[in-house]
A and B are shown apart, each in its own frame.
Chain A
């Protein structure tokens, strides 16, 4: 057994960490309050080669594994969960689907793997997950082209992406299609702002007889894969947000004095810090193990569900405690912990909620038993 990262993973972590310290942490406050956005940061990350993490080298990608992705996403989320969500979505959902669906057109892949163009996955429709039977977006074949009609809500990167992988129902089941979002029959509008993840581009997409540029084949297998990656990334993001909140809490309690001493000296706050640290560590270990399992490429395990359930609940507790440590100051946008608390409760829009995952986990365990 070995709990250390590889040299490459170490390097990615350090690179992203210093990028976050220099170019994310400060402006994130503004991005989340609607002043400016993370476009520049996304471009910088593309230049660093971090928007094609899982893509093969022949397409210009970094060809790294899920653990590297998780490590990077955690670091980004420590600076800004919304930015991390967009980066995770492009890498693990958009590109993740294309790659798993066996898309081999290297020329078409290149701009995505280089991050020159962004790619989103429009699978879920509001409440119903894409594998639910009532997928209402439909695709019909007219000659050589597939045409799509339907709507998708809360699609990350939906406004910025040049293309979307759209999952639609056909007579022979759900299929994936690559769609040029600037094409005819596509309308996109920003989704109503959520409680958290305010810096994340989220869009509602509508397709009215929109033509697909590529048919990506039956969607089930690729969707299962992207769902696992999505849950992994949600866990990684949760850990990053939790880490940021915990660090903010510790710093604040050492600085703030009441009753003549730093409030870090009061036992209730010490307990909160200690519990958060322990839970956070457990969440990270579960997440890394899940990433490692995925990277092994072994048959689908239930490790991602365990990680995501635990990490999403941990981040809720950790951010809640850290906010409490800040007293009234934590309730204002001047302190990042206010945002971490809102982000924590919103992360579930990026993966399924923990209840859905519990059911998946229990079913999976029943099958194994």
Chain B
């Protein structure tokens, strides 16, 4: 039976995130977005259980649904997108350890990840030459002769929180000639010898989130730190991204909401010729369009989450939700840049920040083009 009502549990998690976002996080958001990594805020989130929304309560999570997860991400992103992305990647890593890890791995990695003992978790798939074509990655993990460990070599790029993470989920080839099927997943301890943090990317937005390259040189990974059997690394990555894409959709809508709210808030204060325009239909119709598209996008995100919660495969729905929500966020933030007052065009204003933050959502966790490939593949036979 159809049901558009969130459960009490989901609403409770949403409220938890909202209350934190609108109090403590709101006070710090400006500083976070001038380039300071939100260390304290992510620790606070862990304290609230928000670093493992879907993870079991016994391990420090909230035991929530995907729907709840996206509601929480949206609340945080509405106040600070940089904190939201740090939180999203950490949740994603925890989810993969829950899904593919054995009990020992769960017991070892999840408590510190979820409690905030680790500042964050990282997900390392992309490489300088392997972005959309992730399966062509070239980092390799070679099993030692005695079978006790792998030796990891390679370079990863664009790794969110790669310099502050307590665990990095690394995808590397165990069978270099096998393409996607030759990829395995590893839980890498950044304290291991041979783990090097490279340059920090200077980005347009998400200034408070750190994005770094990583270099592995003869890094020894014990066999027990391989996540799942050999060869399922690409599957792990794609599974992570199915859930992650809903999260990015939710993040994008949170950002869009913040821009729209900022524009709506300043309308009554505007004056002169400008005021006529602001109160006229030119503006009100745009506001109506923005709100309508955001609503539709949010329903798509929640539908994909609900399918996920029901254990149904939802790659197409997740891809649709991501492309629709992130393109909506592009439309909304761009429109807000044209509607806002000149002072709202400041680099660090709410609208200015939203415009810069929203742009990356159409790129990471699969570009819009990649989402369309996923959608079309399922609709058009023979592609």
Task: Decide: A328 and B345 in contact? CB cutoff 8 A.
Answer: no
Task: Decide: A127 and B360 in contact? CB cutoff 8 A.
Answer: no
CA distance A353 to B340 in the complex (A): 10
Not counting A127-B270, A327-B131, A342-B355, a sample of 5 additional A-B residue pairs whose C-beta atoms are within 8 angstroms of each other reads: A127-B342, A128-B273, A194-B352, A328-B131, A345-B338
Checking A327, A353, A356 against B363 with a beta-carbon cut-off of 8 angstroms, the contacting residue is A327
The segment out of A18-26, A81-89, A316-324 that lies at the interface is: A316-324
CA distance A192 to B352 in the complex (A): 12
Q: Write out the residue numbers on chain B whose beta carbons fall within 8 Å of the beta carbon of A268.
A: 369, 372
Distance between A88 CB and nearest chain B CB, rounded to angstroms: 18
CA distance A129 to B355 in the complex (A): 25
CA distance A349 to B338 in the complex (A): 10
Instruction: Assess whether B192 is interfacial by the CB under 8 Å rule.
Output: no
Distance between A38 CB and nearest chain B CB, rounded to angstroms: 18
Instruction: Assess whether A58 is interfacial by the CB under 8 Å rule.
Output: no
Task: Decide: A128 and B272 in contact? CB cutoff 8 A.
Answer: yes
Q: Which residue of B is nearest A346, CB measured?
A: B345
Checking A127, A129, A258 against B132 with a beta-carbon cut-off of 8 angstroms, the contacting residue is A258
Checking A129, A269, A342 against B273 with a beta-carbon cut-off of 8 angstroms, the contacting residue is A129
> Which has the most chain A C-beta neighbours within 10 Å: B126, B204, B334?
B204
Task: Decide: A331 and B282 in contact? CB cutoff 8 A.
Answer: no
Task: Decide: A355 and B338 in contact? CB cutoff 8 A.
Answer: yes
Task: Decide: A327 and B132 in contact? CB cutoff 8 A.
Answer: yes
Distance between B198 CB and nearest chain A CB, rounded to angstroms: 14
CA distance A192 to B330 in the complex (A): 24
Please name 13 pairs of A and B residues whose Cβ atoms are closer than 8 Å in the assembled complex, sorted by A: A126-B342, A127-B270, A192-B347, A192-B348, A193-B346, A195-B345, A258-B130, A323-B359, A331-B359, A332-B201, A338-B204, A342-B356, A349-B342
Q: Write out the residue numbers on chain B whose beta carbons fall within 8 Å of the beta carbon of A356.
A: 273-274, 277
Task: Decide: B363 and A331 in contact? CB cutoff 8 A.
Answer: yes
Given the interface contacts A195-B337, A332-B204, A333-B202, does A128 sit within 8 Å of B330 by beta carbon?
Answer: no
Q: Which residue of B is nearest A129, CB measured?
A: B273
Task: Decide: B271 and A128 in contact? CB cutoff 8 A.
Answer: yes
- For window 142-157 of B, CB contacts with A under 8 Å fall at 157
Checking A192, A324, A358 against B282 with a beta-carbon cut-off of 8 angstroms, the contacting residue is A358
Instruction: Assess whether B21 is interfacial by the CB under 8 Å rule.
Output: no
Q: Which residue of B is nearest A333, CB measured?
A: B202
> Which has the most chain B C-beta neighbours within 10 Å: A259, A269, A330, A345?
A345
Task: Decide: B282 and A355 in contact? CB cutoff 8 A.
Answer: yes
Task: Decide: A333 and B338 in contact? CB cutoff 8 A.
Answer: no
Number of chain A residues close to chain B: CB under 8 A: 47
CA distance A338 to B334 in the complex (A): 15
Distance between B368 CB and nearest chain A CB, rounded to angstroms: 7
Task: Decide: B131 and A258 in contact? CB cutoff 8 A.
Answer: yes
CA distance A268 to B352 in the complex (A): 29
Checking B157, B274, B338, B347 against A194 with a beta-carbon cut-off of 8 angstroms, the contacting residue is B347
- For window 349-366 of B, CB contacts with A under 8 Å fall at 352, 355-356, 359-360, 362-364
Q: Which bracket fits the contact residues of B? A: 35 or more
Q: Write out the residue numbers on chain A whose beta carbons fall within 8 Å of the beta carbon of B201.
A: 331-332
Q: Which residue of A is nearest B282, CB measured?
A: A355
B residues whose Cβ falls under 8 Å from a Cβ of A: 126, 129-133, 136, 157-158, 201-205, 270-274, 277, 282-283, 330, 334, 337-339, 341-343, 345-348, 352, 355-356, 359-360, 362-364, 367-369, 372
Q: Write out the residue numbers on chain A whose beta carbons fall within 8 Å of the beta carbon of B282.
A: 355, 358-359
The contact string, 1 if C-beta is below 8 Å from chain B, for chain A 54-80, is: 000000000000000000000000000
The contact string, 1 if C-beta is below 8 Å from chain B, for chain A 305-317, is: 0000000000010
CA distance A331 to B158 in the complex (A): 11
Q: Write out the residue numbers on chain A whose beta carbons fall within 8 Å of the beta carbon of B369.
A: 266, 268-269, 324
Distance between A269 CB and nearest chain B CB, rounded to angstroms: 8
Q: Which residue of B is nearest A131, CB measured?
A: B273
CA distance A195 to B352 in the complex (A): 6
Distance between B102 CB and nearest chain A CB, rounded to angstroms: 33
The contact string, 1 if C-beta is below 8 Å from chain B, for chain A 342-356, is: 100110110001111
Instruction: Assess whether A7 is interfacial by the CB under 8 Å rule.
Output: no
Task: Decide: A328 and B202 in contact? CB cutoff 8 A.
Answer: no
Distance between B267 CB and nearest chain A CB, rounded to angstroms: 11
Instruction: Assess whether A153 is interfacial by the CB under 8 Å rule.
Output: yes
Q: Which residue of A is nearest B341, CB measured?
A: A127
CA distance A109 to B364 in the complex (A): 54
Distance between B332 CB and nearest chain A CB, rounded to angstroms: 13
> Top 8 closest A-B pairs, CB basis?
A128-B272, A132-B272, A258-B133, A127-B274, A345-B337, A195-B352, A132-B273, A333-B202
Q: Write out the residue numbers on chain B whose beta carbons fall within 8 Å of the beta carbon of A333.
A: 202-204
Instruction: Assess whether A40 is interfacial by the CB under 8 Å rule.
Output: no
Checking B202, B274, B338 against A332 with a beta-carbon cut-off of 8 angstroms, the contacting residue is B202
Q: Which residue of B is nearest A320, CB measured?
A: B330
Checking A323, A331, A358 against B203 with a beta-carbon cut-off of 8 angstroms, the contacting residue is A331
Distance between A252 CB and nearest chain B CB, rounded to angstroms: 13
The contact string, 1 if C-beta is below 8 Å from chain B, for chain A 185-202, is: 000000011110010000
Instruction: Assess whether A2 is interfacial by the CB under 8 Å rule.
Output: no
Instruction: Assess whether A134 is interfacial by the CB under 8 Å rule.
Output: yes
CA distance A194 to B343 in the complex (A): 8
CA distance A195 to B349 in the complex (A): 9
The contact string, 1 if C-beta is below 8 Å from chain B, for chain A 271-304, is: 0000000000000000000000000000000000
Task: Decide: A341 and B273 in contact? CB cutoff 8 A.
Answer: no
CA distance A334 to B270 in the complex (A): 37
Q: Which residue of B is nearest A337, CB measured?
A: B204
Distance between B133 CB and nearest chain A CB, rounded to angstroms: 4
CA distance A266 to B368 in the complex (A): 13
Task: Decide: B283 and A355 in contact? CB cutoff 8 A.
Answer: yes
Task: Decide: B271 and A134 in contact? CB cutoff 8 A.
Answer: yes
